[in-house]
Structure 1
């Protein structure tokens, strides 16, 4: 299936990627390009996904701050107990937050949003994945890759 591009005032030009069956674009966040992807497993929900994505992007500073706090809550102890380099000292929550970098967002038809963070080499280069449900509650934090 090949779908047309969508021009959106907040999300920019969304291009359909047949390989992943999603629309993708980039937005500027803190002076860097952030990739966004909208999974469209169900074409009937494209409008609701666009609405959800534009709402999150509009308030992204707040959501990203909350995602980082959630990552600290769920992953800092793991970092300090089992992922320290030789001669590395325990990290504080601020040091942890300062090292992770938001790189992408994936929006699902069910309203979930996945925040993909570069780990700043906290977990030897693995990606940090934070999941927010349709009610804007963070429900999972994991390392991946």
Structure 2
């Protein structure tokens, strides 16, 4: 076993528009699905880029060495995606114990790319 984590299943929430329809959010989900491996890589790399300094500067355990981007990416795994009717996406990422079990949330859209990442709950 290589120790490499794989996304085996990812939850999906499609939020309806003002008329209760999910057509728009479903279309975004289809586009994400068509490029799922690229988006998995993007989300994990983006979260590492945004949060690695925080981990290494203030969230290391006493016996833990600073992490490289590859370490961060290897530990993280996407748990779910929430897509709204306007095309905005939230990717909920399991932190792999990087931040004491808190989730990582990465936000963006197909048109704007990924724009924000933070530690949540």
* Cα distance in structure 1, aligned partners of 2:110 and 2:10: 21
Q: 1 or 2 for the larger relative contact order (CA 8 Å, sep ≥6)? A: 2
Change (3 A) 1:134 1:42: farther
Report whether the alignment pairs 1:74 with 2:50: yes
Indicate which of 71, 81, 84 corresponds to 1:95. 71
Q: Does 1:143 align with 2:116?
A: no
Q: Secondary structure at the match of 2:81?
A: strand
The TM-score with structure 2 as length reference comes to 0.89
Q: CA deviation at 1:111?
A: 0.5
Cα drift, residue 31 of structure 1: 6.4
Give the match for residue 47 of structure 1: 23
- 1:111 corresponds, among 87, 91, 94, to 87
Q: Does 1:85 align with 2:61?
A: yes
Counterpart residue number, 2:35: 59
Larger radius of gyration: 1
Provide structure 1 residue ranges, at least 5 long, that are not aligned to the other structure: 1-29
User: By percentage of residues, which structure has more strand?
Assistant: 1
RMSD value over aligned CA atoms? 1.5
Q: Specify every segment of 5 or more residues in structure 2 that has no aligned partner in the other structure, as ranges.
A: 1-5
